[in-house]
C-alpha cells in the first residue's frame, strides 16, 4: 500500500472467485442481463439514499433528482452506468465487491453440474448482481463516494475478474457510483446507442427513477464530432420512470410484471404467478405479490433475510420487511406501499403497529388465495410450485391457526389411488372419493414413498378399496401433530393405535375377530413372554391380509420420523416401545401356535419381529443375531444339520 493513493491489492474470497469464473463461462446465452442487474443495483442505491435523506436531508447535497445515467464510447469500447444514490465507503466497497456475503453460497456452488445450460439456470436462481458485469467486460472499474462524505474520500475499485482486485483513494465531485465496463473484443456491439436503449426498455422500463441516455439529435459522424464536443450534451429519460405498482393493472403488460419481479428478486427466471392489488377504505395500501418459479438456496435457513420491499407513499423504507407475511410464506416476493404507515418507521415499530397486523392478515389471505387459484386454473404449474415449496407450506398449520383450513386445501400428497408415483392428490379430492360410511381420512407416514407403498399396514385398506394418503416428507409427522381434521373429517394414522374402521367393517369381520381372540389368546401370551421388554404389547390384528406380523405405534407415542428429527437436532427423545401385532390368519402363525420346541419357537418369533421392524424402515437391534437365527432356519429347511 502506498501512502499517497492508499492503493491496495486484495484477493477475492474463494466463493467470489468461483462465481466470477461461472459468470464469464456459463451465462453466454443471455449476456444482456448485465445491464439489467447494474441498473437494478443503481435503483436500489437511489432508494436507500431517498430513505436516509428523510432524517438527513443534507445527504442530497443540493441534488435531489435521483437518476441513472448511461454513457458509452464505441471507439474505446466502454460503457458506464452512473447513479447519484447512496454510494459506498472504502470498507463497503471491499465488503460488497470482494465477498459474497450470501447464505447458501457453498450449497449453491456444490449444486453446479458442469453442464453450462443447467448451471446458467442455477446461477439465475442464486442472483449475481454486480458480478454479471464480467459476462461482457474483461475489466471493470467502480468509482464511488458515499453520500455525506468529502469529495476526496471516494474509492476506485478495479478488477479483471480473475483472482484479485485493487482499491485506491480517489476524488469524486458527485456522490454515488459510476461503473465503467471495458468490453471484451467480441462484445463491443454493446457500446451502441440503439442496442443499449432497447435493453433498457426491455428490462428497466419499470424502474421508478429515470434512466438517462444522450439525446439522439443528429447522426454521429466524424464531421460533427467537433460540434458535438462544443455543445453541452443533453440527456433524455428512456424508461417510463414510474413505479410499476402505482400504475393501473390494465396498463401493465405481463412482460413488465415479469421484468419487475426480476428487478426486485434478482432472479433470472419468470415468476409462476403474481397478484397486483390496491386497497382503499379504512386502510390504504398497494401490494404486488409474486410466487417464484424456484426455491432459493437459503429457503430452509429460517434466519435468512426475507420479506417484502416496503415503501411508504412511494418512498423506499426497507428491503426485507418480514412483518407482512408469516414465516411459512417466506418464499413470496413483492412490494407493499402504504399510506398509513409513518415515513420514519423502523423494524421495531413495525412489530408493534396494529396497522401492520391488519395488513399482514389481509396479505396472508391474498397470498393463500393466489395459490388456491393457481391450483385450480393450472394444475401443472401448481405441481411445479409444490415440488419447490410444498414442504414450506406444510409449516403453515402450526404457525397460522386461523388459516389452517385454507392452508390444508393447498396440500398435495401421493395416495393409494394415484395412477403413478408422481401424481399428487389434494385433501378435497380425497374427501370427495371417500366411501359411504367412511368418517376418517386415513394416512400413513413412512421414510420413503416405496416404504409407504409396501407397508403391511395398507393390506386391509387395499382389500376393502379404502384410499390412504401416503406421507414421506421429513416434515409430515410433525405436520400431522398440528392438523387434526379437514372439512369435519378426523385424520387417522393407520399405523397408530388399534385399527378401527367403524362402519366400514361388517358383522362377519367382527365375529371372526372375536373368535380369533379366544383361539389365539395363549399364543399372544407366549410371544409376549418371549419378546419381553422389547415390546409394549403383543396383540392380534385384522389390518393384515398377506403379512404375518407388523409393528404399530401406541396412540400417544412419538413416531419414527419425529424421533429421527429430534435425535438429529440433539434433543432428548422419550423412550417408547412398539406394539407387535400378529395376523392369526397367516399360516406361519398357525404353525407357530403348534410349535412345541421352545428354542425353535424363540427363533421364529425373533425373525418375525425383525422382519416387522425392517418393513417399517427401522433398524435391527442386533443384526448379527438376526442373521444367525435366519441362517439356522434356512439350514433346517435344506435338511442340513
Mean pLDDT split into 10-residue runs, the chain, 641 residues: 66 73 63 86 91 91 93 95 96 81 53 55 56 89 96 94 90 96 94 93 84 74 56 84 89 92 85 94 92 82 81 83 92 92 71 86 96 94 93 94 95 85 80 92 91 90 92 90 92 86 74 79 89 88 88 79 70 80 88 86 88 80 82 77 55
In a domain, 565, yes or no: no
The CATH number assigned to the domain holding 311 equals 3.30.230.80
d(CA 180, CA 140): 6
Residue 371's contacts (CB-CB under 8 Å, 6 or more residues apart) are: 291, 382, 385, 393, 410
Residue 556's contacts (CB-CB under 8 Å, 6 or more residues apart) are: none
pLDDT at residue 595, rounded to an integer: 81
d(CA 606, CA 626): 7
Are both 52 and 161 inside the same structural domain?
Answer: yes
Are both 268 and 251 inside the same structural domain?
Answer: yes
d(CA 287, CA 245): 7
Are both 145 and 36 inside the same structural domain?
Answer: yes
Are both 453 and 317 inside the same structural domain?
Answer: no
pLDDT at residue 109, rounded to an integer: 60
Domain assignment of residue 452, given as a range: 411-503
pLDDT at residue 332, rounded to an integer: 95
d(CA 363, CA 369): 10
In a domain, 235, yes or no: yes
Are both 232 and 95 inside the same structural domain?
Answer: yes
Contact predicate 607/633, CB 8 Å: yes
Rounded to whole angstroms, what are the CA distances from 247 to 87, 250, 319?
29, 8, 21
Which one of 219, 239, 259 terminates a domain? 239
pTM of the model: 0.75
In a domain, 70, yes or no: yes
Are both 517 and 632 inside the same structural domain?
Answer: yes
Chain centre to alpha carbon of residue 205? 28
Are both 111 and 18 inside the same structural domain?
Answer: yes
Collapse the DSSP code of 302 into the 3-class scheme (helix H, G, I; strand E, B; otherwise coil) and give the result.
coil
In a domain, 383, yes or no: no
In a domain, 390, yes or no: no
The CATH number assigned to the domain holding 520 equals 1.20.120.790
Are both 114 and 227 inside the same structural domain?
Answer: yes
Strands (DSSP E) along 92-186, which ranges?
Answer: 137-145, 154-159, 164-170, 176-183
Are both 29 and 106 inside the same structural domain?
Answer: yes
Among 420, 416, 516, CA closest to 470: 416
In a domain, 198, yes or no: yes
Give the β-pairing of 489-493 and 440-445: parallel
Are both 442 and 476 inside the same structural domain?
Answer: yes
Which one of 239, 269, 284 terminates a domain? 239
DSSP 152-179: GGEEEEEE-SSSEEEEEEE--SSSEEEE
Neighbours of 575 (CB within 10 A): 7
Kind plus residue range of the DSSP H or E element containing 120: helix 116-126
In a domain, 385, yes or no: no
Are both 207 and 299 inside the same structural domain?
Answer: no
In a domain, 140, yes or no: yes
Among 438, 508, 496, 505, CA closest to 467: 438
Collapse the DSSP code of 272 into the 3-class scheme (helix H, G, I; strand E, B; otherwise coil) and give the result.
coil
Are both 337 and 202 inside the same structural domain?
Answer: no
Domain count, the chain: 4
The CATH number assigned to the domain holding 166 equals 3.30.565.10
Which one of 239, 272, 301 terminates a domain? 239
Amino acid at each position: 500500500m502506498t501512502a499517497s493513493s492508499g492503493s491496495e491489492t486484495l484477493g477475492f474470497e474463494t466463493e467470489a472467485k468461483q462465481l466470477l469464473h461461472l459468470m464469464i463461462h456459463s451465462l453466454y446465452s443471455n449476456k444482456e442481463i448485465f445491464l439489467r442487474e447494474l441498473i437494478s443495483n443503481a435503483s436500489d442505491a437511489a432508494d436507500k439514499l431517498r430513505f436516509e435523506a428523510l432524517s438527513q436531508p443534507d445527504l442530497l447535497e443540493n441534488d435531489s433528482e435521483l437518476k441513472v445515467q448511461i454513457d458509452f464510447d464505441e471507439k474505446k469500447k466502454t460503457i458506464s452506468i452512473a447513479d447519484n444514490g447512496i454510494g459506498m465507503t472504502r470498507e463497503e466497497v471491499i465488503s460488497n465487491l470482494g465477498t459474497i456475503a450470501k447464505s447458501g453460497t457453498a450449497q449453491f456452488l456444490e449444486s453446479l453440474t458442469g453442464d453450462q445450460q443447467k448451471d446458467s439456470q442455477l446461477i439465475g436462481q442464486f442472483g449475481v448482481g454486480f458480478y454479471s458485469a464480467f459476462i461482457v467486460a474483461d475489466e471493470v472499474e467502480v468509482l464511488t463516494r458515499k453520500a455525506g462524505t468529502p469529495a476526496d474520500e471516494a474509492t476506485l475499485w478495479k478488477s479483471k475478474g480473475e483472482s484479485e482486485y485493487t482499491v485506491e483513494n480517489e476524488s469524486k465531485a458527485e456522490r454515488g457510483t459510476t461503473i465503467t465496463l471495458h468490453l471484451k473484443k467480441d462484445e463491443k456491439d454493446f457500446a451502441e446507442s440503439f442496442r443499449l436503449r432497447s435493453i433498457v426498455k426491455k428490462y428497466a422500463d419499470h424502474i421508478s427513477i429515470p434512466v438517462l441516455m444522450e439525446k439522439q439529435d443528429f447522426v454521429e459522424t466524424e464531421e460533427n464530432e467537433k460540434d458535438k464536443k462544443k455543445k453541452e450534451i443533453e440527456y433524455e429519460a428512456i424508461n417510463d420512470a414510474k413505479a410499476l405498482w402505482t400504475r393501473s393493472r390494465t396498463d401493465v403488460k405481463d412482460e413488465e410484471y415479469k421484468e419487475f419481479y426480476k428487478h426486485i428478486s434478482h432472479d433470472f427466471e419468470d415468476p409462476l404467478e403474481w397478484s397486483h392489488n390496491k386497497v382503499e377504505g379504512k386502510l390504504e395500501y398497494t401490494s404486488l405479490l409474486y410466487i417464484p418459479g424456484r426455491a432459493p438456496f437459503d429457503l430452509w435457513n429460517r434466519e435468512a433475510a426475507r420479506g417484502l420491499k416496503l415503501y411508504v407513499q412511494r418512498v423506499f423504507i426497507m428491503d426485507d420487511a418480514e412483518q407482512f407475511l408469516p414465516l411459512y410464506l417466506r418464499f413470496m416476493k413483492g412490494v407493499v406501499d402504504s399510506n398509513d404507515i409513518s415515513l420514519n418507521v423502523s423494524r421495531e415499530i413495525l412489530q408493534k403497529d396494529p396497522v401492520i397486523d391488519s395488513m399482514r392478515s389481509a396479505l396472508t389471505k391474498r397470498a393463500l388465495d393466489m395459490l388456491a387459484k393457481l391450483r385450480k386454473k393450472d394444475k401443472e404449474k401448481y405441481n411445479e410450485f409444490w415440488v419447490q415449496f410444498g414442504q414450506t407450506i406444510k409449516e403453515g398449520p402450526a404457525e397460522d391457526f386461523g388459516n389452517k383450513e385454507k392452508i390444508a386445501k393447498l396440500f398435495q400428497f401421493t395416495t393409494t389411488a394415484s395412477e403413478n408415483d408422481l401424481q399428487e392428490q389434494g385433501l378435497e379430492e380425497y374427501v370427495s372419493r371417500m366411501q359411504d360410511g367412511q368418517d376418517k381420512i386415513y394416512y400413513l407416514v413412512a421414510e420413503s414413498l416405496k416404504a409407504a407403498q409396501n407397508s403391511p399396514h395398507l393390506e386391509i385398506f387395499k382389500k376393502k378399496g379404502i384410499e390412504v394418503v401416503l406421507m414421506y416428507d421429513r416434515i409430515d409427522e410433525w405436520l400431522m401433530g398440528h392438523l387434526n381434521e379437514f372439512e369435519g373429517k378426523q385424520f387417522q394414522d393407520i399405523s397408530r393405535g388399534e385399527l378401527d374402521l367403524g362402519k366400514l367393517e361388517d358383522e362377519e369381520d367382527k365375529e371372526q375377530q372375536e373368535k380369533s381372540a379366544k383361539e389365539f389368546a395363549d399364543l399372544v401370551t407366549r410371544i409376549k413372554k418371549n419378546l419381553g421388554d422389547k415390546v409394549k404389547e403383543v396383540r392380534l390384528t385384522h389390518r393384515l391380509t398377506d403379512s404375518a406380523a407388523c409393528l404399530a405405534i401406541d396412540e400417544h407415542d412419538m413416531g419414527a420420523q419425529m424421533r429421527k428429527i429430534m435425535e438429529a437436532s440433539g434433543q432428548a427423545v422419550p423412550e417408547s416401545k412398539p406394539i407387535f401385532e400378529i395376523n392369526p390368519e397367516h399360516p406361519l402363525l398357525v404353525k407357530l401356535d403348534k410349535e412345541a420346541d421352545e428354542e425353535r419357537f424363540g427363533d421364529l418369533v425373533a425373525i418375525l419381529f425383525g422382519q416387522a421392524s425392517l418393513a417399517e424402515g427401522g433398524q435391527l437391534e442386533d443384526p448379527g443375531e438376526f442373521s444367525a437365527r435366519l441362517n439356522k432356519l434356512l439350514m433346517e429347511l435344506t435338511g442340513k444339520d
